[in-house]
Amino acid sequence: MKNKLNKLVMIGLYKKVVVLFILALSSSLSGQVDRSIPEAGPAPVIEFKEPFTTKLSNNLTLMIVVNDKLPTASATLIIDNPPILESDKSGMKSLVTSNMGKGNKFQSKDEFIEEKDFMGSFISYNSSGGSFSSLSRYFERTMTMFAQGALYPIFSDEEFVKEKTKLTEALKIDEKNAASIARRVENIVAYKKGHPRSEYVTEASVASIEMTDIDNFYKSYFKPNNAYLVVIGDVNMDKTISLSKELFEGWQYSNELDKMFGEGSVNDFVDPEISEKTTIHVVDVPNSANVEISFQNIIDRKTSDADYFSGTVANRVLGAGPESRLFSVIREEKGYAYGAYSGLPTSSKSKTKFQARTTVRTEVADSAIVEMHNQLKIMRDDPITDEELSNVKSGYFGSFAMSMEESSTIANQALSIRSENLPTDFYKTFLSNLNKVSKDDVMDSSKKFFLIDNAQIVVTGKINDIIENLENIYLDNNKIDVIYHDEFGNITQRPDYSVSDDVTTESIINNYLDLIGGKDKLEEVKSIEIKGNANLNMQGQSLVLEFYSLKNNQNQSLATVTAGGMVVQKSVFNKYQGYNEVNGQKMPITDTELEQAIINSALFTELNYDYSTMELVGTSIVNEEKAYEVKVTDNKTEYYSIESGLKVKEVETSEVEGNQMSVETTINEYEEVDGILIPSEINLVTPGMPIPGGITIKFGTINLNIKTSDSDFN
């Protein structure tokens, strides 16, 4: 018999095995940060190259930058519409994007893909344009295919249903992701509901979208009124102008579109105002292993503003990279997080927000908030150092001058001048204007944009253990009010984690042991053998991982991970010693790892729990199910369903290269084997695995009481 539990969870050797393997694979795919910054010097003189620019009869602006260094060419179509509200049909833009390129009135989907792939060309679309690239000899044909797909798409019912299903499945995978919830609520708190920047896609909004909706959206907003076609590469100027007119001048301009974006249109929205005072906004995500913190406030900032350059310098010093103050203090000095950053964006169409953000361990969330406030206050009250100012300027001098050699930079800057109403000499004078920025200018911009007295501090994560701390935070001697929100930004009540007096840690564990077979039956088990697999997709790589585990009642255990027939990870423990092996490199298990290995090698660790050292923290929510939260050790917490009594999740933390890393294990399913319930499907999630939703392992083979020998554990 199988007991299926709504996304429940488990434990075992696989946690460390999988995490070590994923970390090894992930590190091999990522690069290193270059922290070097050249010394400051005088602003170099920049020669700004102008692309050829003309406007077609339908108002489409054509921009061409000829560059024959390589036999390739590319183009980008940008429809610069004002922000568009999707309201209760949020997801339309996503579905327009995913349905374009699936056939047009000149070619079927298969014909389009086959010809594109034959040429080695790249073509993509989105709800506000698209892009393509190709070898020079295929440029004309690729541009023709792109235009036909963009201007004459066919939206089929079959493709619409497929893409709608894919979008719904993606939402399900991401629905409990703390980072995704944080970004959503941060935008709702900042912009309020009914603003384009605070809209979010839900399963309900996707379900309400019909084929006619995306067809109408495309017909309404995919227009040349504010469009730009930017061509870069090894092309013939005259032929490209002629081809662009031939392909795009028939694209219909719409006077109605101007009316829709005018006064009284359906896209009217109210820009948010600056908060009256600083408040903390808490979103409880019980499944989260860490806490997302955002220090934010509304700003009205445009690239054309006189203080654009001083604001840019201020943000660079504060948190624009690994050399910034936030990163240095939050990560390197305090050790609260993997990193901390800030952003000070511009927008010519609506207000936007300043944001300083980090992801920290739960227990230091309140300390991180105070430290972020301190760094913002210092930026406002004290001049930056001469060295910081010099480093920022020299960094820009080097990167900006080098970027001017790129054709894409030339095109993007020319586009920005037109779309953001910048002075025509904006980029010619960019470095000289940056060089004029003084320390006082930076302080003035910090006061204008870093509003520590009018901020929204959004805290998202498992706040059970820190709720009292959050409610007693003082900034500048002022106690900060706390407002609670659900995962969709709605204001809600303070979470209640209380437990009935008649429930104890011992009663929870004993009930669980009875449910999975009973102490007497569990103590009779001599060994457990498990085989399983998982499909892994990471950074474009797809592979099947095979798992094998063997444990006996003599404190001996073996676990392997195999990919493509090769053992890539192995973990062995033999009574009092053991090792981990990754890609042939053996690492002995020592110190605290050894102590934990002894505990984990037991067939059923719950049989050996010392209740005097454990703590019943309270209640929590695991995948929408209420559960008891039991702290087993300082590094290990378990969750038991109040309804079923079964263990549904375990969170374990360990130190990896000086950083605290958590592994969240969820038991999705149990299987009965010889009268004993054994987890048959688990899900692993950790910040070290760059995989949305984590990795799910299904155990197809579970055997009890097979014969083992010492030679099995070498």
Measured CA distances, 407 to 68, 395, 429 (Å): 10, 21, 19
- Residues 520, 678: Cα–Cα separation, whole Å: 16
pLDDT at 78 over 80: yes
Residue 660: pLDDT band with limits 50, 70, 90:
low
Q: At 529, which amino acid appears? A: E
Q: Would you give the DSSP letter of residue 486?
A: -
Percent helix, strand, coil in the chain, to 5, is 35, 30, 35
Q: What is the mean pLDDT of the chain?
A: 88
Residue 184 pLDDT > 80, yes or no?
yes
Q: Is the pLDDT of residue 79 over 90?
A: yes
Q: What percent of the chain has pLDDT over 70?
A: 89
Q: Which residue has the higher pLDDT, 42 or 664?
A: 664
pLDDT at 458 over 50: yes
pLDDT in tens, 585-598: 888 887 767 777 77
Taken in order of first residue, the domains within the chain and their CATH numbers are 2-26+499-713 (2.50.20), 52-176+200-260 (3.30.830.10), 279-392+427-485 (3.30.830.10)
Total residues found in the chain within this entry: 714
Query: 224-281, pLDDT tens digit by residue?
Result: 999 999 999 999 999 999 999 999 999 988 877 666 665 445 567 889 999 999 999 9
Res 602 pLDDT > 90: no
Q: What is the pTM of this model?
A: 0.75
Residue 172 pLDDT:
81
The pLDDT value given to residue 272:
93
Q: What mean pLDDT comes out for the span 103-109? A: 96
Tell me, what's the pLDDT at 582? 85
**Alpha-carbon gap, residue 310 to 450, rounded angstroms:** 13
| Model confidence band, residue 687 (pLDDT cutoffs 50, 70, 90) | low
The pLDDT confidence band at residue 534, using thresholds 50, 70 and 90, is very high
pLDDT at residue 686 in the model: 76
Q: Where are the alpha helices (DSSP H) in 436-504?
A: 439-449, 467-470
Q: What pLDDT sits at residue 539?
A: 55
Tens of pLDDT along 489-512? 999 999 988 899 999 999 999 999
Name the 3-class secondary structure at 492: coil
Q: What angle do CA 402, 405, 407 make, to 5 degrees?
A: 135
- Residue 682 predicted with pLDDT over 60: yes
The model's confidence at residue 18, banded by pLDDT at 50, 70 and 90, is: low
Whole-number Cα distances in Å, 49 to 77, 229, 404 = 21, 18, 8
In the prediction, which pLDDT does 515 show?
Answer: 97
Q: What percent of the chain has pLDDT over 90?
A: 65
Confidence of residue 177 (pLDDT cuts 50, 70, 90): confident
Distance between CA 543 and CA 44 in Å, rounded? 49
pLDDT digits over 540-574, tens only? 567 899 999 999 998 899 999 998 888 888 999 88
Q: Does 15 score more than 80 pLDDT?
A: no
- Spatial strand order of the sheet with 456-461 comes to 337-343, 352-361, 290-299, 456-461, 279-284, 481-485
Mean pLDDT is lowest, of 67-81, 408-422, 460-474, for 408-422
User: pLDDT at position 43, please?
Assistant: 61
pLDDT on residue 408: 81
Output 576 or 620, whichever has higher pLDDT. Answer: 620
Phi and psi angles of residue 60, each rounded to the nearest 5 degrees, phi first:
-70, 125
pLDDT of residue 129 exceeding 60, the answer is: yes
Q: How many CB atoms are located within 10 Å of the residue 14 CB?
A: 28
At residue 17 the predicted structure's pLDDT band, cuts being 50, 70 and 90, is: low
Using one digit for the tens of pLDDT, what is the confidence trace for 46-59?
Answer: 666 789 999 999 99
The pLDDT of residue 16 is 53
pLDDT at 259: 61
Please report which confidence band the pLDDT of residue 299 belongs to, taking 50, 70 and 90 as the band edges: very high
| pLDDT higher than threshold 50 for residue 306 | yes
The pLDDT of 360-382, averaged and rounded, is 96
User: What's the pLDDT score for residue 266?
Assistant: 54
Q: Average the pLDDT over 368-392 and give the result.
A: 97
Q: For position 694, what pLDDT does the model report?
A: 78
Task: Assess whether pLDDT exceeds 70 at residue 518.
Answer: yes
* Mean pLDDT of the region 627-650: 93
- pLDDT band (50, 70, 90) for residue 93: very high
Query: What's the CA gap between 26 and 689, in Å, rounded?
Result: 7
Q: Which residues contact 563 (CB under 8 A, 6 or more apart)?
A: 543, 544, 545, 546
